[in-house]
């Protein structure tokens, strides 16, 4: 049996349980969501993307 979920559903599930478990303040959630949305189309987006990729590589141990 193979279950396929859209990525947004998986992110929503992890976000929901993360908020329930960690109990961050509401203002922090709003700032992170709004900030990410607003920065997505700026000149900072490539730097954020490359920094995220490097961080993932470091965590996974696949640095070049």
Q: Which residues contact 57 (CB under 8 A, 6 or more apart)?
A: 63, 64
pTM of this prediction exceeds 0.85: no
User: Above 80 in pLDDT, residue 2?
Assistant: no
Predicted pLDDT at 37: 87
pLDDT band at 64 (very low <50, low <70, confident <90, very high): low
Q: Give the tens place of pLDDT for each residue, 7-53.
A: 888 888 999 999 999 999 999 999 988 988 888 888 888 888 888 88
């Amino acid at each position: 049996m193979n279950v396929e979920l859209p990525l947004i559903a998986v992110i929503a599930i992890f976000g929901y349980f993360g908020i329930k478990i960690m109990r961050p303040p509401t203002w922090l959630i709003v700032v992170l969501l709004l900030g990410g949305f607003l920065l997505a189309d700026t000149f900072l987006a490539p730097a954020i993307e490359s920094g995220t990729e490097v961080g993932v590589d470091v965590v996974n141990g696949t640095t070049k």
